[in-house]
Structure 1
Amino acid sequence: MTVPTEPRPGHRVVDVGGVPMSALVGEVPRPRAVVVALHGGATTSVYYDAPNRPRLSLLRTGAALGFTVIALDRPGYGGSEAYADRLTDPRRRVDLAYGAVDRLLEARPRGAGVFVMAHSVGCALAVRMAADERGADLLGLEIAGTGLHRQPRADEILLARHQDLLDGLEGRGRRRPATAGAPGAAGGGLRDLIWGPRHLYPADVAGISSATPGYEGVEVEHWRQTLPDLAARIRVPVHYSLGDHETVWRCGPVGLAEVAALFTTSPRVVVHEQVNSGHNLSVGLSARAYHLKVLSFVEECALAREAAPLPSHRQGAL
């Protein structure tokens, strides 16, 4: 399969209740499904369209395989950066994300449905979307670069920054400078933690850093309590991925299994360890292999939906 470098994904901005929400969109005329991708902390939607590396781009690979891909700038990033102090309520962020997807797609075809995938801190928004009552209509969910228990070194580094992360919320939602957005950025131990081992990433990864909204400090602080509660409400298929060189979260069979066990009402849970990959799966040298694995799962979800009877709450809605 040849991954085209043109046309490039387009940048779009839509208004959702007075808040400008931005995204990179790789659109196809008749999509098999729509994939909504949510980036992690200290970066933006460009995370899914690796600069100067089209082969590693989720947007381009997805479009080549017949999927429309929307890489959304999460609330408080991109177009909504100036509104971060108004977005501390997680329900508001869920509404903005759903509203942005609806506005971006409008009357455009969705194929088998909308699939949500996310990385790292972005998984907090993704699982909230899937646990929401609107989540029952999702095609499925992929979360990656997250977990239930952090590795000891990660705990030490992140706890040292704990107060700094919370300062963003205490300062009425002000944004914090990026400290781990890309190799070469400021941040010392945190940068090395997030971007290690360096041989797993292109030497020229740059231009994907962003300041972070203050609310993310709260998400990080409470994630261990938040994830189990939300996971138990999710009723769509779930795919969970970690790199075999994951540096932040407990990985390997134990780490994968403990998170998978949280999705007690999901009809199907699949775990995946991506070889030759660190924390940032979508910009590493193995990104294409990872994206193909996720898109294969999306295809399986599409097949399952086509084979299943229409849920009663959707009958007569089409």
Structure 2
Amino acid sequence: MPESASKRFVEQVGAWRVSGRRRIPDRAAAPDVPPAEAPLVVALHGGTYTSAYFDLPGFSLLDRAAAAGIPIVALDRPCYGETTPLDPGTETIRNSAERLDAIIAGLVAQSAEPERKIVLLGHSIGAAIALAIAARQPSWRLIGVAVSGMCLESPPEAGAAWSALPETTMVELPPALKDAVMFGPDHTFDPPMPGLGHHADAPVPRAELIDIVMGWPDIAGDVLGDVRVPVYYRLGEFDRLWVTDAEQVARFAAALSTAPRVDAALMRGVGHCIDFHRLGAEFQAGQIDFALGCGAATSDSA
């Protein structure tokens, strides 16, 4: 696989180690984007993937963000990469949100721009965690949240399937099973997918899988109701991990009752991992435009 222009990092933040990938903006490619209007995007991957999810050749959100003049950091969540794990069995959405809130605060404090505006971006379980972080009203300067690959209800069979997983702390999904749930029909993606996507594969905490299916529906209303920044939300038409229809998207948007602005839609022609489908570039462009819009809207108070 070609080497990425992003930089891998491992840093100590207080008592925790955190790893991930960084990509600095290409100012020559985006001279019309004032630095004050370019927020830092912090991306959180979903279950069974590392931060490499956002940086695969030809599908890299990191590359596209940098070309648009946006700095971006994709973090390995706790229990992934070299990031300090949570205690076995405690890998829930709320616990992950608490830890990552503190990690991001530490990274910001250690940076050269401690007042930098931040847009959180999350996929799947990472999306639920991003929203839970936003609901905590973090001390750092959060100005928006872009999420995908999650909703309010899983199909009825999902709970039984995850409960039947091996009684181990970490679970590794077989590639064929993973492809079946992460992608839409064959006509929605091109080679080198789905094979290339496996370069970002990682074992997933069993407790995390159980919590997104069994725990998230119980806390979703409270979490979404406490998000007080603009939200950009997309759910794939062929997402096999969630109940996907216009009514679900409308309910999700309505639950974001204190968010000042919500852009929510069901995206046709894509599966769970929207980034890896034919329309992935269009999807990522929407996320980037959202981040830039959030930055521009707050530039007067920068």
Q: CA deviation at 1:58?
A: 0.5
Q: CA deviation at 1:111?
A: 8.1
Q: Secondary structure at the match of 1:297?
A: helix
Aligned counterparts of 2:94 and 2:218: Cα–Cα separation in 1? 17
Q: CA deviation at 1:64?
A: 0.5
Q: TM-score, normalised by structure 1?
A: 0.80
In structure 1, the partner of 2:77 is 74
Q: Secondary structure at the match of 2:121?
A: strand
Do the aligned partners of 2:147 and 2:233 also contact (CA within 8 Å) in 1?
yes
Gaps of 5+ in 2: 28-34
Aligned pair 1:291/2:292, yes or no? Answer: no
Q: Secondary structure at the match of 1:207?
A: helix
> What fraction of aligned residue pairs are identical, expressed as a percent?
26
Q: Secondary structure at the match of 2:299?
A: helix
Matches within 5 A, 1:1-318: 8-28=5-25, 30=35, 32-50=38-56, 52-53=57-58, 56-80=59-83, 84-85=87-88, 88=91, 92-105=95-108, 106-109=110-113, 113-134=117-138, 137-151=141-155, 155-164=156-165, 167-168=167-168, 174-179=169-174, 185-187=175-177, 191-204=179-192, 205=196, 206-216=198-208, 217-307=210-300
Do the aligned partners of 2:150 and 2:242 also contact (CA within 8 Å) in 1?
yes
Do the aligned partners of 1:84 and 1:213 also contact (CA within 8 Å) in 2?
no
Q: Give the 3 Å change call, closer, same or farther, for CA 159–34 of structure 1 in structure 2.
A: same
Q: CA deviation at 1:250?
A: 2.7
Q: CA deviation at 1:212?
A: 0.4
Do the aligned partners of 1:15 and 1:100 also contact (CA within 8 Å) in 2?
no
Q: CA deviation at 1:89?
A: 6.1
Q: Give the 3 Å change call, closer, same or farther, for CA 17–136 of structure 1 in structure 2.
A: closer
Gaps of 5+ in 1: 169-173, 180-184, 311-317
Partner AA of 2:13 in structure 1: V
Aligned counterparts of 2:228 and 2:133: Cα–Cα separation in 1? 12
Q: Give the 3 Å change call, closer, same or farther, for CA 101–279 of structure 1 in structure 2.
A: same
Q: Write the deviation string for residues 203-261 of structure 1: whole angstroms up to 9, x where unpaired.
A: 22231211002330223211111111111111111111012333332334212101001
Q: Give the 3 Å change call, closer, same or farther, for CA 109–137 of structure 1 in structure 2.
A: closer
Q: TM-score, normalised by structure 2?
A: 0.84
How well do the aligned residues superpose, as a CA RMSD in angstroms?
2.7
Aligned residues between the structures: 286
Partner AA of 1:120 in structure 2: S
